[in-house]
């Protein structure tokens, strides 16, 4: 074999290896793009043996000091976050608005008693009231949401409590207000308030975790797409704040379970 033939053979071999490498890289890239990640979900502590808990969401009150905040858009995001909780069903926001109109609450909810009437009118186990405490849609976005959950006594318990003493559990709700049978207690059973500023690195880490399984991780923005759109950032904040509320519910029911197990003295 001449020197020219040797060089040609080497060139062809190198070309074949390069083509093979590109093909394998393309397959690996396609495989990476096709990889799916399940998003994180919120799990409620409630006993669902007799069905999921039914919530109604009242449109939030805008206390942010700016008219840029759209109460209905944020209310829909709160409904979507509640609907995503395992063990919870949530009525559409329009149902709550219709109930408020039927009850004559044309100026919105003015007191906890009004919230109770809306929930009882809808036959819900709980009503979720909320307010917008901060709103800045410009980069980096800022959104603050406060949630207050009003629940019918004994409506949302966990399986362990139900097996122990459902009557004791029902009466335990009197710690939050006056017990009067099937009506709602006077105070919310759980309250949370979150102020999420995208300048905060802990908030950015929470956004990245939330985006897993909800965004295209191979796109140019990847998880940061939730920072580029206020609507998407609102979805994140609603989900994050709802997770904090359910954390409080886990703690509340854990405390109630300890009370029911406490021996009489």
What pLDDT does residue 203 have? 97
pTM for the whole thing? Answer: 0.76
Contact 44, 246 (CB under 8 A): yes
Closest alpha carbon to 151 in 49, 45, 61, 41? 45
Bridge-based pairing state of the strands 53-57 and 126-136: parallel
Q: Parallel, antiparallel, or unpaired for β 61-62 and 142-151?
A: unpaired
User: Could you tell me which residues come within 8 angstroms of residue 150 by beta carbon, excluding any fewer than 6 positions away?
Assistant: 112, 115, 116, 119, 126, 127, 128, 129, 184, 185, 187, 188, 189
pLDDT of residue 16: 62
Beta bridge partners of 195: 144
b/e sequence 17-47, b meaning 16+ C-beta within 10 Å:
eeeeeeeeeeeeeeeeeeeeeeeeebebbbb
Q: What is the dihedral of CA 132, 43, 236, 128, to 10 degrees?
A: -20
Residue span of the structural domain in which 86 resides = 53-261
Task: Work out the end-to-end distance of the chain between its first and last CA atoms, rounded to an integer number of angstroms.
Answer: 103
Q: Is 22 helix (H, G, I), strand (E, B) or coil?
A: helix
Per-residue pLDDT in tens (0 to 9) along the chain, 265 residues: 556 556 556 655 666 666 666 555 555 545 455 677 788 899 999 988 888 999 999 999 999 999 999 999 999 999 999 999 999 999 999 999 999 999 998 777 777 788 778 888 999 999 999 999 999 999 999 999 999 998 876 667 664 444 433 333 333 333 333 323 333 446 888 999 999 999 999 999 999 999 998 888 788 888 999 999 999 999 999 999 999 999 999 999 998 888 777 655 5
**Domain for residue 207, yes or no?**
yes
Query: Could you tell me if residue 44 is inside a domain?
Result: no
Q: In the prediction, which pLDDT does 230 show? A: 97
- pLDDT for the residue 157: 66
State how far the Cα of 162 lies from the Cα of 40, in Å rounded to an integer: 28
C-alpha 84/C-alpha 20 separation (Å) is 45
In a domain, 9, yes or no: no
- Inside any domain, residue 251: yes
Q: Which CATH number characterizes residue 228's domain?
A: 3.40.50.10610
Residues 78, 63, 70, 221: what is their CA dihedral angle, to the nearest 10 degrees? -70
**Number of domains, the chain:** 1
32 part of a folded domain: no
Within a domain: 17: no
Identify the bridge partners of residue 225 per DSSP, sorted by sequence position.
Answer: none
Does some domain include residue 196?
Answer: yes
Domain contains 27: no
């Amino acid at each position: 074999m001449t020197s020219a033939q040797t060089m040609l053979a080497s060139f062809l071999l190198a070309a074949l290896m390069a083509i093979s490498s590109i093909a394998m890289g393309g397959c690996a890239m396609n495989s990476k793009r096709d990889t799916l990640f399940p998003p994180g979900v919120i799990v409620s502590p409630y006993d669902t043996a007799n069905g999921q808990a039914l919530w109604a969401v009242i449109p939030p009150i805008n206390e942010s000091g700016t008219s840029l905040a759209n109460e209905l858009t944020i209310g829909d995001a709160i409904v979507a976050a509640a609907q995503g909780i395992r063990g919870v069903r949530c009525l559409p926001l329009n149902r709550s608005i219709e109930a408020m109109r039927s009850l004559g609450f044309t100026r919105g909810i003015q007191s906890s008693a009004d919230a109770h009437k809306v929930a009882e009118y809808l036959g819900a186990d709980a009503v979720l009231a909320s307010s917008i405490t901060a709103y800045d849609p410009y980069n980096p976005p800022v959104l603050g949401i406060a949630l207050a959950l009003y629940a019918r006594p004994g409506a949302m318990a966990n399986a362990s409590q139900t097996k122990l003493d459902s009557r004791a559990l029902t009466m335990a709700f009197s710690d939050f207000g006056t017990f009067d049978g099937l009506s709602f207690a006077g105070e919310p059973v759980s309250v949370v308030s979150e102020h999420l500023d995208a300048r905060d690195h802990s908030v950015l880490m929470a956004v990245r975790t939330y985006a897993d399984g909800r965004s295209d991780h191979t796109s140019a923005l990847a998880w940061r797409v939730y920072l580029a759109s206020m609507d998407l950032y609102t979805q994140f904040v609603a989900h994050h704040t709802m997770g904090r509320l359910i954390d409080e519910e886990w703690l509340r029911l854990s405390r109630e379970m300890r009370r029911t197990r406490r021996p009489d003295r």
